[in-house]
Amino acid sequence: MAAPTDAPAPAEVGGSALAELGQVPWRERTDERFLRRYGRIWLCWTVAYSVPFLVAALCLMVLEPLAFPVALASLVHAWVIPELYAYRGASVLRPKGPRNREGEAVAQGLLGDLLGHDARELHACTGLAMERGGMGVWLVGEAGALLFPPRTRRVHCFCVRATDRQLPPSDRIAHLLLALRTDEGGFATVANHAFAGAPWRVRRRLPPLMRPALDAARSAA
């Protein structure tokens, strides 16, 4: 799991590239074209894994109706595989690591200075920070981020975290947010792509408290 940390101070955020890009020199830099291609690849993977089970279930029912239990098991497999991928994508936003409650109040204040009024309120309610970027609308959590590109029906889930896991949750979000603002494409390149697919699949796997943040980001995109 990659870890873009040591982000510059807000005054320095701008056109520089993340130093962590040097840790993954083999990766193609992520941009809008890359995201479209990667989204199609994820769709092909899902179809390739699910369709054989659907075909097997249909064939079993046609050839031998008494094989209904086996056909039903095949249908379950066809449904579960995409759901497991979606669970993996939703997991990038789930709370992780120590809560560090003593430092969290101060960390929330520092993070609030980086966010606008609406984003501040959204974070207070859901624990997630929404950020508009050049590639779309981001939803940043403690150990990952979701990207909603404009004019698409797909969400991209990225797994990425700050190196120091002892930081308060809001500090972890602030580190990722600053890295994102420093180099959006570099941030997406360093992060591990966990899922690309329908937002409703990810929403079902999120804790109810976080779902309004996903809805807000999707609407904003």
Per-residue pLDDT reduced to its tens digit, 53-72: 999 988 988 888 888 888 88
Compute and round to an integer the Cα radius of gyration of the chain. 20
- State pLDDT tens for residues 7-36: 333 333 345 788 888 888 898 999 999 999
The helix-helix angle for 101-114 and 169-182 (nearest 10°) equals 30
Give the pLDDT of residue 15.
Answer: 54
Nearest Cα residue to 193 out of 33, 85, 82: 85
Question: 119 φ, ψ to 5°?
Answer: -65, -35
Cα gap 88→79, rounded to integer Å:
15
51 contacts 79 by C-beta, under 8 angstroms: no
Distances in Å between the Cα of 209 and the Cα atoms of 73, 75, 96, 159 are: 33, 31, 15, 20
Task: Please provide the size of the chain in residues.
Answer: 221
Strands across the sheet containing 136-140: 129-133, 136-140, 144-148, 155-159, 192-197
Give the pLDDT of residue 10.
Answer: 36
Tell which wins on pLDDT, 105 or 217. Answer: 217
Residue 168 has pLDDT above 80, yes or no: yes
Cα gap 101→156, rounded to integer Å:
30
Please give the distance of CA 167 from its chain centroid, rounded to a whole number.
Answer: 20
Tell which wins on pLDDT, 16 or 213. Answer: 213
pTM: 0.85
Strand 192-197 and strand 144-148: pairing?
unpaired
Question: Which residue's structure tokens are 């990659």?
Answer: 2
220 contacts 132 by C-beta, under 8 angstroms: yes
Nearest Cα residue to 173 out of 123, 135, 132, 207: 123
